[in-house]
Amino acid sequence: MKTRGKGTILATVAGIVALGLLAGRCAPSAPKGAKKGAAVSDTAAAAMKVYVAPGDLDEYYLFASGGHSGQMYVYGLPSGRHISTIPVFTPYPATGYGFDDDSKKMLGDLTWGDAHHPGLSETNGDYDGRWLFINDMNGRIARIDLRDFKTKQILGPVPNVSGNHASSFVTPNTEYAVMGSRFSIPIPKGTAVEVGKYATDYKGVLTGIKIDPNTGEMSIGWQIVMPPFDYDLGDAGKLVSNGWVFFTSYNTERAIGKLEVTASQRDRDYIAAVDWKMAEQLAAKGEGTVIGGVKVIDPAKNPGLVYFMPCGKSPHGVDVSPDGKYVIGSGKLQGVTTAFNWEKVQTAMRNKDFTGDEDGIPVLKYESIKDAEVPVGLGPLHTQFGPDGYAYTSLFVDSAIAKWKLGTWEVVDKVPMSYSIGHLSAAEGDTVSPDGKWLVGLNKLSHGRHLSVGPSQPESSQLVDISEEKMKLALDFFTEPEPHYAQIVKADKIKPIEVYPKEENKHPLAVWDVKDAGLTRNGNKVTVKMVEVRSTITPTDFEVKEGDEVTLAITNIEQTTDELHGLGLLDYNINIVVDPGETKTVTFKAKKKGVYPYYCTNFCSALHQEMQGYMIVR
């Protein structure tokens, strides 16, 4: 935070405190149940730390997945302010996403997605600020360019992948983002087999999505067929464990029906360890059988490719420590989380220290690979890391975060969450060099932490100060539903552009001079090149014939930051927003006769209201 005069902050905090005292018991920010007096000073201290004065900027970005809203949400930390929405898998009228030709094509038939795990691109295991990947349960993965915070590619639905939850975790140099199927199905997709044959005929699939190091362009790298378990989460190995990627799996019982009962019979499920460098080599050699148009590799025929690490039953998250030495995973109903020692895992692989196999994939011996069972508390879901070997585990059942130490395995602190924390995110807490400082608990329920807005309560995230020995709750803030994973990155790692430079606009229909704007006809196809600049849309009117296929190509010729223009066309469901220097097209049938006004939707100047025109359909 750029602090611009602590005096102002102190004065403001003093104001908050005074107001709090005046309001007595109703002090709005006093933590419930805290001791009087002590509560005020704790609150004041926390307020000081999270307060970002007008004109100052936050120190971190928080990129949070929006679950089944299909969007990504951007917050500033420590303020907790929601500063932007990046539409990804769902149309978003505010930015015209899903209305213009390109984004409509990118979305395809699916106008909804369920996004869970953002994955910032990495170089040597650290965020490099280039791209942000995000998965969708519909077997897709998207790439957002952090130069302009826009979705540039949606890959998929990828063949054979069903319920892409264990995604989009990236490898340390962004070689791959991964995908895993939460719902095994008979493959290829489109094959119908009765669920009674689940154990033998249904398959899980793990996929490596290759990422072009220069452009970020995604393509299918490798695909591996797996036993019909539910692959839930993943994480890539780093440093000593670089080259491997880990996936949790539940329902190793291969059960059907009421899974809460049928899939909880065994004491242990598995973490699958996949040698992605070997998968890459096998794919390069053309290994595998074509299923659904993709070469699928069978690990039973390729020893060394996949191993199963037994883990407490029904595990959820799997997280690799910053040094790559430990793989943390646990049953989500247990009171402990297990730290697997990567060196021991490798020794067990070499010595064939197996207890059996699953469809030809060896199962390692639990006792040989674990280092510790850390008594973190009930319902461990996810683990993040801080500097100095500290780990933070979210506890859904206990509704708390446990802080513990790698190596000594001591639980040193706990902080309650309101309520029922799912994911948690520490500043750069899944990289090789976590920052510490801040931790955000992404809570599943809020139960009155915000003003009531009816039965569907606002989502509650909580910011925890982890800069000291004891964790301290600093702030409650609203996060858009549905909270899943989020990543926190130092703001100075992201370098967004201000405008799209004119010389980079290579759009074939772009026009930069109002005299080049206008209509051209080719049979019943009409192209209208339009220019938007304060405060006119050129042309100010045009005529087409009923039944024409009309393409509007709109260029915003501004080169001033934040000077956006829009184009709303009434009754035609058309809503385009063009950023400075950008060209967008929209193609539609002129189905309705009459006169249809169009106008700029983004308030751009004092004469914004004058920015309008007419489409006449004869």
Is residue 374 within a helix (H) or strand (E), and if so which, with residue range? strand 370-374
Tell me if 602 contacts ligand CUA by CB under 6 A: yes
Residue 47, contacted partner among ligand CUA, ligand RUQ, none, CB below 5-8 A by kind: none
Helix, strand, or coil (residue 228)? coil
Of 439 and 567, nearer to ligand CUA (C-beta) is 567
DSSP 190-216: T----GGGHHHH-BEEEEEEEE-TTT-
Residue 489, contacted partner among ligand CUA, ligand RUQ, none, CB below 5-8 A by kind: none
Tell me if 600 contacts ligand CUA by CB under 6 A: yes
**Residue 82 DSSP label:** E
Is residue 235 a contact partner of residue 171, using CB atoms and an 8 Å limit?
Answer: no
Of 69 and 602, nearer to ligand CUA (C-beta) is 602
Residues 213-252 that bind ligand CUA (CB under 6 A): none
**Phi, psi values for residue 77, rounded to 5°:** -125, 140
Is residue 132 within a helix (H) or strand (E), and if so which, with residue range? strand 126-136
Residue 134, contacted partner among ligand RUQ, ligand CUA, none, CB below 5-8 A by kind: none
- 39 contact partners, CB below 8 Å, separation of at least 6: 27, 30, 31
Tokens 């539910």 belong to residue: 230
Of 107 and 604, nearer to ligand CUA (C-beta) is 604
Residue 484, contacted partner among ligand CUA, ligand RUQ, none, CB below 5-8 A by kind: ligand RUQ
Distance of closest approach, residue 74 Cβ to ligand CUA, in angstroms = 24
Distance of closest approach, residue 162 Cβ to ligand RUQ, in angstroms = 15
Stretch that binds ligand CUA, among 93-101, 129-137, 274-282, 595-603 (CB under 6 A): 595-603
Of 233 and 348, nearer to ligand RUQ (C-beta) is 233
For 358, other C-beta atoms within 10 Å of its C-beta total 20
- The span from the CA of 480 to the CA of 489, in Å, is 19
Residue 316, contacted partner among ligand RUQ, ligand CUA, none, CB below 5-8 A by kind: ligand RUQ
Among 170, 187, 604, 615, binds ligand CUA (CB under 6 A): 604
The whole-angstrom distance between residue 421's C-alpha and the CA centroid of its chain comes to 17
Of 106 and 378, nearer to ligand RUQ (C-beta) is 378
Going by their DSSP bridges, the two strands 337-341 and 370-374 should be labelled as antiparallel
Point out the residue whose Cβ comes nearest to ligand RUQ: 422
Site string for ligand CUA, 533-572 (x = CB under 6 A): --------------------------------x-------
Residue 602, contacted partner among ligand RUQ, ligand CUA, none, CB below 5-8 A by kind: ligand CUA
Is residue 371 a contact partner of residue 344, using CB atoms and an 8 Å limit?
Answer: yes
Q: Is the peptide bond before 419 cis (omega within 30 degrees of 0)?
A: yes
Among 284, 521, 603, 618, binds ligand CUA (CB under 6 A): 603
Of 338 and 556, nearer to ligand RUQ (C-beta) is 338
Stretch that binds ligand CUA, among 80-88, 313-321, 376-384, 598-606 (CB under 6 A): 598-606
Residue 584, contacted partner among ligand CUA, ligand RUQ, none, CB below 5-8 A by kind: none
Tokens 């598995």 belong to residue: 270
Residue 611, contacted partner among ligand CUA, ligand RUQ, none, CB below 5-8 A by kind: ligand CUA
Of 153 and 612, nearer to ligand CUA (C-beta) is 612
Is residue 461 a contact partner of residue 157, using CB atoms and an 8 Å limit?
Answer: no
Which of 162, 200, 313, 178 minimizes the C-alpha distance to 249? Answer: 313
Of 95 and 443, nearer to ligand RUQ (C-beta) is 443
Distance of closest approach, residue 592 Cβ to ligand CUA, in angstroms = 25
Both tokens assigned to 42: 């704790």
Distance of closest approach, residue 421 Cβ to ligand RUQ, in angstroms = 8
Determine the Cα angle at 599 with ends 595 and 602, to 5°: 160
Distance of closest approach, residue 544 Cβ to ligand CUA, in angstroms = 23
Whole-angstrom Cα Rg for the chain:
27
Estimate the share of the chain in helix, then strand, then coil, as percent rounded to the nearest 5: 15, 40, 40
- The span from the CA of 269 to the CA of 262, in Å, is 13
Of 487 and 602, nearer to ligand CUA (C-beta) is 602
- The span from the CA of 252 to the CA of 328, in Å, is 19
Which of 407, 233, 440 minimizes the C-alpha distance to 321? Answer: 407
Determine the Cα angle at 341 with ends 339 and 343, to 5°: 170
* Amino acid at site 539: P
- The span from the CA of 278 to the CA of 288, in Å, is 13
Residue-wise burial string across 418-445, b where 16 or more C-beta atoms lie within 10 A, e elsewhere? bbbbbbbbbbbbbbbebbbbbbbbbbbb
Residue 140, contacted partner among ligand RUQ, ligand CUA, none, CB below 5-8 A by kind: none
- The span from the CA of 524 to the CA of 546, in Å, is 9
Tell me if 608 contacts ligand CUA by CB under 6 A: yes
Stretch that binds ligand CUA, among 313-321, 339-347, 500-508, 603-611 (CB under 6 A): 603-611
Of 52 and 577, nearer to ligand CUA (C-beta) is 577
Q: Applying CB under 6 A, which residues contact ligand RUQ?
A: 116-117, 165, 233, 316, 381-382, 422-423, 484-485
Of 69 and 555, nearer to ligand RUQ (C-beta) is 69
Residue 604, contacted partner among ligand RUQ, ligand CUA, none, CB below 5-8 A by kind: ligand CUA
Residue 381, contacted partner among ligand RUQ, ligand CUA, none, CB below 5-8 A by kind: ligand RUQ
Of 320 and 604, nearer to ligand CUA (C-beta) is 604
Residue 19, contacted partner among ligand CUA, ligand RUQ, none, CB below 5-8 A by kind: none
- The span from the CA of 172 to the CA of 395, in Å, is 27
- The span from the CA of 504 to the CA of 337, in Å, is 51
Residue 30, contacted partner among ligand CUA, ligand RUQ, none, CB below 5-8 A by kind: none
Binding site for ligand CUA (CB under 6 A): 565, 600, 602-604, 608, 611
